[in-house]
Amino acid sequence: MNTIYLGREEVKKEPCVATIGFFDGVHLGHRYLIGEVTKAARESGRKSVVVTFDRHPREVLQSSFRPELLSTLPEKLQRLSQTEADYCVVMPFDRETAAYTAHDFMEKVLRNRLGVERLVIGYDNRFGRNRSEGMDDYVRFGHELGMEVSQADAMRMEGVNVSSTVIRGFLSQGEVEKANRCLGYAYSLSGMVESGYRIGRKIGFPTANLSLSGCCKLVPQEGVYAVRVTVEGEKIQRPGMMNIGKRPTFDGRRTTAEVHVIGYKGDLYGQMLTVEFVHRLREERSFDGIEQLTAQLQEDKRQVTEWFDREKDAG
């Protein structure tokens, strides 16, 4: 796949089949849609194009909006590159883009700049100023512009239409396994390890405290999770146990994300970690003293180790 940043690079206009969307998370529903686009393009001898945006539209429309994304822009582009589409066109979403009506966008961007002859729209996608138009309007505009417009079916799993909204709901409820099945991969957070309280080190469970400041991704529901941990620069993944919450045993005030990397002996301070969520063990709770907390951490570790042992045996 070739990635083109519209406005920064030359765009070779050629007949193509395209789809448009924010594609947050590039989940299985998105990949199903893109598969429909690439299939239609191959059958008609045209190129396949995915058009996306460099930021969430609400970041421009609402200055106070702070997104809770499923993927950063680099993560999104990396996952889009794994599809069979020929091109990914990244548009800057700014006030000018936000002012386009659906008709203007289809005419000035899709047809005139990209050469779109067929547009395949996701089952729940709306675009254009105020998102006020729907599928019937897009079909009518396409007829006027000489562009065939069709709508892809939804992809259903476990009784729901796979969508970014549904996946955010699962993560917000701590249901990471359901979220992962819809994504087609394990949801992750990355962050720099910052200085913490060092209490875990004193009780035999040293933790790396991931900085969440400036994090634009959704942080799953508070609780304790089995996770896979990758240290930047290393290729191996290590099992870990992660606590997201306010550390009620120690009267914590702010939300922290602390991960104990099982078996790791080195110093992780100042390093970048990527944590993949595999399974939620329990909710966060307060304990009556260090001994009770330590006993629970031992039990958490046992469960995490067993979980990964079963996964290894099954694989």
Q: Tell me how far apart the terminal alpha carbons of the chain are, to the nearest angstrom.
A: 30
CA 16 to chain centre: 27
Strands annotated E in 178-271: 188-194, 208-210, 223-231, 238-245, 256-261
pLDDT of residue 288: 81
Strands 208-210 and 188-194: antiparallel
Residue-by-residue pLDDT tens, the chain, 315 positions: 899 998 877 788 899 999 999 999 999 999 999 999 999 999 999 999 999 999 988 888 887 778 899 999 999 999 999 999 999 999 999 999 999 999 999 999 999 999 999 999 999 898 988 788 899 999 999 999 999 999 999 999 989 999 999 999 999 999 999 999 999 999 999 999 987 666 656 667 888 999 887 778 999 999 999 999 999 988 899 999 999 998 766 666 778 899 999 989 888 889 999 999 999 999 988 888 888 889 999 999 999 999 998 887 776
- The answer to whether residues 183 and 167 touch, using CB atoms and an 8 Å cutoff, is yes
Smallest CA-to-CA distance from 88 within 127, 37, 28 is with 37
pTM of the model: 0.92
Taken as a whole, the chain contains a residue count of 315
Which amino acid type is present at position 11?
V
155 DSSP assignment: P
Residue 170 neighbours by CB distance under 10 Å? 21
Distance CA 283, CA 9 (A): 49
CA angle 205, 296, 198 (to 5 degrees): 25
pLDDT of residue 35: 97
- The answer to whether residues 227 and 276 touch, using CB atoms and an 8 Å cutoff, is yes
